[in-house]
Amino acid sequence: MTSQYRVNYHLRAHKRDSLIEFIKGMLLTPFVLHSQPTNAQTHVTENAQRFSEIFSSIEHLIQEHRSFTHQGIPTYSRLAKLVPSIGTFFTPLPLQQAFERVNAQDKISARKHVPPSFNDVRRILNMAQAMAIAPQLKLVTFDGDMTLYADGQNFEEDHGLTALLISLLRRGINVAIVTAAGYGDDAKRYEHRLSGLLAGFGKARLEAEEAARFFVLGGECNFLFRTVIQQGNRYGLEYVSDAEYSASGLRSWTDSQVQQLLDVAETELRDCVERMAISAEILRKPRAVGLVPQAQLTREQLDECALSSQLALLKYQGSPKSQPCDVPIPFCAFNGGNDCWVDIGNKLIGVRILQDMLDSPPEATLHVGDQFLSTGNDLSTRTACCTCWIINPEETERILTELEKMF
């Protein structure tokens, strides 16, 4: 599922998504009207039926929107009028079935005092997307921090996700980590972050052909690596030079242009440090610049740094009303949770590079990440493929376990 966003911090609450808010509002009415004490089992059954009917209706609205989108007139759909910021749905979403599966696990309809929440709806949308894409899945891309491993940590050996990722590779599905972490062409540093997963490949004795389906794309879209079996049957990463794959149409910028853009971003971040009296270090990389605090910052301070940098770069490129994806040099200015970074390029480009290389269309590509807020760096992928919005590695494991049941 996808949505197009206008970034306006003053008008958007934290963790707000227009489609999720619309669905929450629809579910709230029957919850409020029918929350009087009744027989417990009757209450659960009737609530489940009402919620199921609502999800069925929204499912039909989405299908109608897809039909209008295929005709080239998406704004004519009823859903577009109800949720003007709605984007493209690359697959149908079986929301009624997804609700029934999630409700069986989480007992949403059994609650009397807490209505269906943002996270409930998010998980139902994730389930529906997994159910829809499973039959034709060709490529799964993942964010790194807080999606596959804890923020700033490494992929641990014997993690529950290891077996699930190996299963995808053995089914012929391509798997890639698309991460903001940018270490240039230094494969060793990425191998260190993923040491537990690579060790898991070795324990499972993946065939060379299976291992070759696993990629890492660092710096959002700038540094591509593939998995190879090295001397001593050790699984490692091998840098793929730009000449080995086609990205010229997606990364059409020069190093001089990149450095000029990073100069603007660095100046803006330093201004943020000064005016908010932040204790932080400014780090400059070949295709990124970041603010790394020396003491914990609030979410609002990090959002301010991200949005200030974003606006400065849009103004510099002459398009203050555009999106970061729609300017001559696309970029991503994002709140990383504990820091703030500006990267040249973005995950939209990264996913499209992999789609082109692996011949995976949007309806067969799934991106899993935790940063889908207005200042998150997973948001742009909604334009290129189907998505699942998770909040931690445990949820990633849960959705992959459900996906495994659907093959």
Give the mean pLDDT of 40-46: 76
Tell me which of 251 and 65 has the higher pLDDT. Answer: 65
The model's confidence at residue 336, banded by pLDDT at 50, 70 and 90, is confident
Q: What is the dihedral of CA 333, 336, 339, 343, to 10 degrees?
A: -30
pLDDT above 90 (res 326): no
Residue 1 confidence (pLDDT): 42
Give the whole-number percent of the chain exceeding pLDDT 70: 90
Amino acid in the structure at residue 399 = I
Residue 65 confidence (pLDDT): 98
Give the whole-number percent of the chain exceeding pLDDT 90: 69
Residue 3 confidence (pLDDT): 39
The model's pLDDT over 344-356, given as tens digits with 9 standing for 90+, comes to: 888 999 999 999 9
Q: Is 309 in contact with 262 (CB distance < 8 Å)?
A: no
Residue 384 confidence (pLDDT): 94
pLDDT above 60 (res 223): yes
Q: Residue 281, CB half-sphere, CA atoms under 13 Å: how many?
A: 5
The model's confidence at residue 247, banded by pLDDT at 50, 70 and 90, is low
Residue 35 confidence (pLDDT): 65
Give the mean pLDDT of 71-90: 95
pTM value? 0.87
Residue 378 confidence (pLDDT): 87
Return d(Cα 298, Cα 37) in angstroms, integer: 41
CB under 8 Å to 104, separation ≥6 — which residues?
Answer: none
Amino acid in the structure at residue 277 = A
User: What is the chain's mean pLDDT, rounded?
Assistant: 89
Return d(Cα 227, Cα 235) in angstroms, integer: 7
The model's confidence at residue 293, banded by pLDDT at 50, 70 and 90, is very high
Return d(Cα 300, Cα 143) in angstroms, integer: 23
pLDDT above 90 (res 104): yes
- Cβ neighbour number for residue 370 with a 10 Å cutoff: 23
Point out which residues pair with 301 in neighbouring strands.
none
φ/ψ of residue 259, rounded to 5: -65, -35
pLDDT above 90 (res 251): no
pLDDT above 90 (res 108): yes
Active-site residue set:
143, 145
Tell me which of 37 and 113 has the higher pLDDT. Answer: 113
Most confidently modeled range among 42-46, 59-63, 112-116: 59-63
The model's confidence at residue 253, banded by pLDDT at 50, 70 and 90, is confident
pLDDT above 80 (res 220): yes
Return d(Cα 141, Cα 374) in angstroms, integer: 20
Return d(Cα 112, Cα 40) in angstroms, integer: 10
Return d(Cα 128, Cα 52) in angstroms, integer: 13
